[in-house]
Amino acid sequence: MFLGRWPYYGHPDPKDLPSDFGPIPEWFEVVVPLLVLAVLIFVSLNVMVRLVPKRWWLWTATAVWFVAWVGTFGLAAADPGGILEWVFD
């Protein structure tokens, strides 16, 4: 690891990728994650409002948030396949 990172086929050096990665416009890459996040929040809140009684709604939202946070942090810490290491390299 002292010599650096050696790119190999199918896993190029991120600095070698073109700035316009394919025919997708740059604004699309910013808007789509925000749109997906909005849809996920809307769907999860809609499901919680319909299925969870009002007196337990805040506790359920807190539990779901905590589980999602721990799951995301655990996935990032485990880094299966070295994807985050490759992205942040």
For 21-39, what is each residue's pLDDT tens digit?
567 777 887 888 899 989 9
Cα→Cα distances 50→26, 46, 47, 58, Å: 37, 6, 5, 14
For 58-88, what is each residue's pLDDT tens digit?
888 889 889 999 998 998 888 888 887 877 7
Confidence category of residue 17, pLDDT binned at 50, 70, 90: low
Q: What pTM was computed for the model?
A: 0.48
Residue 1, pLDDT above cutoff 50: no
With beta carbons less than 8 A apart as the criterion, state whether 17 and 29 touch. no
Q: What's the pLDDT score for residue 13?
A: 67
